[in-house]
A and B are shown apart, each in its own frame.
Chain A
Amino acid sequence: MSLLGKKSVSSLLEAALKVFWYLIIVILVTTVVLLFIDLFNPGFFKENASFSLSLFGPGMNINIISELIEPPRPALFLLIICIVLSLALAIIYQLRKIFATLADNNPFTIENSKRLRIMGILVIAGSLIYHLIGYVIGLSTVKSLATLDIKDFKFQINFQPDLGMLFMGIVLLILAEIFHRGCHLQEEIDLTV
């Protein structure tokens, strides 16, 4: 099976991305509905809700559960899911367009280099937004923990962006630039008689 053209790996991936695209739209719409339910009916998801904090490590998973601390609003988590899904939709949209050009055997276009650049920016911005919201939730959690009367315990939080995702975004931006130059070379070749 060839990599480019009709009935190739590219066209198969394009079809798979189409399925993903619609699946994510369905999940996003459901999440938005749940978000609005929580915003306009704050007690809806609160039954049996308790504060829970998990600590992960090699071979262990420590859960700290407390009935004294107010758990964060589900709306916050639903908002994070909405943002992540929206970013995923935007990235998949660009990928679908790129794979469509691969299926048409015409990948070296300026539009594709722009799409790669948009994907790079989305990955960097998305990663920063995702971790900033996580940090804000962490701040409120630490604030809640500080209200507990636990002696000799100090709760701290540090902002820790995902360097891997930032690196991936930068790599995409560099690839977009290389692709952009490749497109110009392709144009030169196409218009050389």
Chain B
Amino acid sequence: MQIKVNLDKIMLERNITLTELAQRVGITLANLSILKTNKAKAIRFSTLAAICRELQCQPGDLLEFIEE
């Protein structure tokens, strides 16, 4: 089982680039890339809140539980 991050899907819907989102959220492009490529081991509530604020979405839209 794992948590899948649907960041790319929502970014496409909102028509926003990774660089722009990184700037608006206030984290590095490298860290946002780690999140987008599902390599992240954890996400801070502050980061999650900032992404949700900028993308106008809920945490549940970003994160998806997949049973293997």
Q: Which residues of B contact A193 (CB under 8 A)?
A: 27, 31-32, 34-35, 40, 42-44, 47
B39 CB–A CB distance under 8 Å:
yes
Query: Per-residue CB proximity of B24-52 to A under 8 Å, as 1/0?
Result: 00010001101100011111100100000
Pairwise interchain contact A192-B44, C-beta atoms closer than 8 A: yes
Total chain B interface residues with beta-carbon distance under 8 A: 12
State the CA gap A188–B31 with chains docked (Å): 13
Q: Closest residue to A188 on the B side, CB-wise? A: B41
Q: Which of B32, B39, B47 contacts A191 (CB 8 A)?
A: B39
CB of A187 closer than 8 Å to a CB of B: yes
Q: For residues 162 through 193 of chain A, which have their beta carbon under 8 Å from a beta carbon of chain B?
A: 187-188, 191-193
Q: Quick one: which of B35, B39, B42 contacts A188, CB cutoff 8 A?
A: B42
Name the residue among A187, A188, A192 with the largest chain B CB count within 10 angstroms. A192
A191 to B42, CA, bound (A): 7
B residues within 8 A CB of A188? Answer: 41-42
- Provide the bound-state CA to CA distance between A192 and B40, in Å: 6
Q: Which residues of A contact B35 (CB under 8 A)?
A: 193
CA distance A191 to B5 in the complex (A): 14
Instruction: Tell me the complex Cα distance, A187–B27, Å.
Output: 18
In Å, the complex CA distance between A187 and B43 comes to: 14
Enumerate chain A residues within 8 angstroms of B41, measured Cβ to Cβ: 187-188, 191-192
Minimum CB distance partner of B39 in chain A: A191
With both chains docked as a complex, state the minimum distance between the C-beta of A192 and any C-beta of chain B, in angstroms: 4
CA distance A191 to B32 in the complex (A): 10
Residues in B whose Cβ lies below 8 Å from that of A187: 41
By a beta-carbon cutoff of 8 Å, the part of chain A in contact with chain B is: 187-188, 191-193
Which positions in B face A, CB cutoff 8 Å?
A: 27, 31-32, 34-35, 39-44, 47
Give me 22 A-to-B residue pairs in the complex whose CB atoms sit less than 8 angstroms apart, sorted by A's number. A187-B41, A188-B41, A188-B42, A191-B39, A191-B40, A191-B41, A191-B42, A192-B40, A192-B41, A192-B42, A192-B43, A192-B44, A193-B27, A193-B31, A193-B32, A193-B34, A193-B35, A193-B40, A193-B42, A193-B43, A193-B44, A193-B47
Instruction: With A193-B31, A193-B43 given, name 4 new contacts (CB 8 A).
Output: A191-B39, A191-B40, A192-B41, A193-B32
